[in-house]
Structure 1
């Protein structure tokens, strides 16, 4: 397996964004259609205009609630900003990597968590926080930590936070709508509106989450590639990812649950792949739980990171290519 090149990644990104635009249009059309149908049934004059006004007001209010009530990732991760006096070596490394990627030096925040977290937070490149956990810093040597920092700052270079926030709009709106709708049971005539709105929001949420996850995985691969090019050693980043993956496996479940909310932002997902757990029930231990296949399906659809083994293999392949090119250059010079 080879790492997708820049053009392939761009094609995937464009297709994903186009599909998400279609999902957003479907959400708006679905909500409008529900209210248009209801207003037409009750005989309201000019139902199309009134349905448009109601749909815009509904989506606008949900957007205001969802995007203004989000707590900072630092608070979720329990991280505290540190200055260069407290972490001089770390600051030197971050400053050097930021210069190589031509991005502003971020504020560094460190959490006491033993879970191996590494992420960047913020929308604008000039107001980014790099969040690292004590578990990550302790697990990696200087070169591996530099590779991880390069991966995270590559997200800044690519403006991934801004991109992912923008394309997540239909998912956030659909989730906000469905969580604010009451249960239709016992609601009488109101169920005529509640049931179709629940259907629309659920379909849009599932489709949007799936497409957003695909794009997130593309962005992770792009950041891997950029970090490998900046550090000049794909093998070092591969070693770092393997080390952090082992650290995740060794981290107690209760500690991973504490950082689940920031899992999608970290360099590796901070929850276990259901496919890696072979749960068996019954007297003979030979019965697979009925929910296990569903957990595996959700993981495959919604996970925001490519499988770690795939990332390791593509980095190793890139390392082999780099060595072959180096040998050819040496032979040409000789």
Structure 2
């Protein structure tokens, strides 16, 4: 089902490319824009994960360079019946994390150094479980392709504002060019927001099941939101099309359930996770995460072992 939604999203963004091209340079501009869109779609499918990681200067780690984080991701991936993803660290003070990759076999999770310092072991594991839930649900393909396409639409619209081609009959005036430069990226952003917000609630729910303690993830979201509100992420500010990839919007700590928010309100997400914790009989639990009676819903009843 997620592949169908991804295809629909790519079609919508491709159509938006064509509209921008037509308004800027007539039918010739539309054909050029559609050609660029097709090439961008193909390139994004195979390389969007590398682009996202490179944009944040993420470096891959292993069990020797980051043993606790690597083992944590490995154990959670086993619980979720997922292949071991690549693990990356981002040298960034703002606490945050994201997942990327076109499928579970080619996936990666990335965490900032700020989140490693900010969260407890249990809270960090909850965040990694959330990111693995995105991988399990095949959300990462949509998220990374959307980031690439939205960025490309912003670029072509801004470029066209200054270099509108075509003959005089189809060339838009300066006012139209300015409107395109503003509205085309906005339309692309609305599309990416529409698909990302609902996915966050589902990734929270599934992440709570994977880690065994939704309350730990709820605590993590509260701490991350507080960190985002006080610590700017300059790379994200320069590349806002990637904001929807993160567990909490890196551009602002004022998350609102509105049309222009890339994420649901953090308070609403926390409330949903605490309700899930109560349903699991873990209300108020803030202790050892995955400890004791937390059942692994993906392992046929096998109880999780201790972290180590």
Would the TM-score normalized by the shorter structure come out above 0.5? yes
Give the alignment's TM-score, normalised by structure 1.
Answer: 0.67
Residue 228 of structure 1 aligns with which residue?
Answer: 208
Alpha-carbon deviation of 1:225?
0.8
- The answer to whether the Cα contact below 8 Å between 2:161 and 2:180 also exists between their aligned partners in 1 is no
- The answer to whether the Cα contact below 8 Å between 2:126 and 2:208 also exists between their aligned partners in 1 is yes
User: For residues 205 and 7 of structure 2, what CA distance do their matches in structure 1 show?
Assistant: 21
Q: Which of 125, 129, 140 is 2:104 aligned to?
A: 125
Alpha-carbon deviation of 1:203?
4.5
Whether 1:55 aligns to 2:48 is no
User: For residues 110 and 142 of structure 1, what CA distance do their matches in structure 2 show?
Assistant: 16
Residue 78 of structure 2 aligns with which residue?
Answer: 99
Give the alignment's TM-score, normalised by structure 2.
Answer: 0.72
Whether 1:209 aligns to 2:184 is no
Whether 1:301 aligns to 2:245 is no
Whether 1:257 aligns to 2:215 is no
Alignment CA distance shift 1:257-1:324 (3 Å): closer
Alpha-carbon deviation of 1:14?
8.2
Residue 328 of structure 1 aligns with which residue?
Answer: none
- The answer to whether the Cα contact below 8 Å between 1:174 and 1:202 also exists between their aligned partners in 2 is no
Give the alignment of 1:190-201 within 5 angstroms: 190=168, 192-195=170-173
Residue 64 of structure 2 aligns with which residue?
Answer: 85
- The answer to whether the Cα contact below 8 Å between 1:27 and 1:200 also exists between their aligned partners in 2 is no
Alpha-carbon deviation of 1:115?
0.9
* Aligned partner of residue 153 in structure 1, secondary structure: helix
* Aligned partner of residue 209 in structure 1, secondary structure: helix
Residue 143 of structure 1 aligns with which residue?
Answer: 122
Task: Encode CA deviations 1:17-37: one digit per residue, 9 max, x unaligned.
Answer: 8688567546546756887xx
Residue 134 of structure 2 aligns with which residue?
Answer: 155
Alpha-carbon deviation of 1:74?
2.6
Alpha-carbon deviation of 1:78?
2.7
**Mean CA deviation greater in 125-134 or 56-65:** 56-65
Larger radius of gyration: 1
User: For residues 76 and 268 of structure 1, what CA distance do their matches in structure 2 show?
Assistant: 18
User: Higher helix share goes to which structure?
Assistant: 1
Alpha-carbon deviation of 1:55?
3.0
Task: Encode CA deviations 1:249-276: one digit per residue, 9 max, x unaligned.
Answer: 332x4xx224433433211111225x68
Alignment CA distance shift 1:20-1:209 (3 Å): farther
User: For residues 55 and 149 of structure 2, what CA distance do their matches in structure 1 show?
Assistant: 23
Gaps of 5+ in 1: 1-9, 39-50, 277-295, 326-334
Alpha-carbon deviation of 1:118?
0.8
- The answer to whether the Cα contact below 8 Å between 2:197 and 2:263 also exists between their aligned partners in 1 is yes
Alpha-carbon deviation of 1:311?
0.8
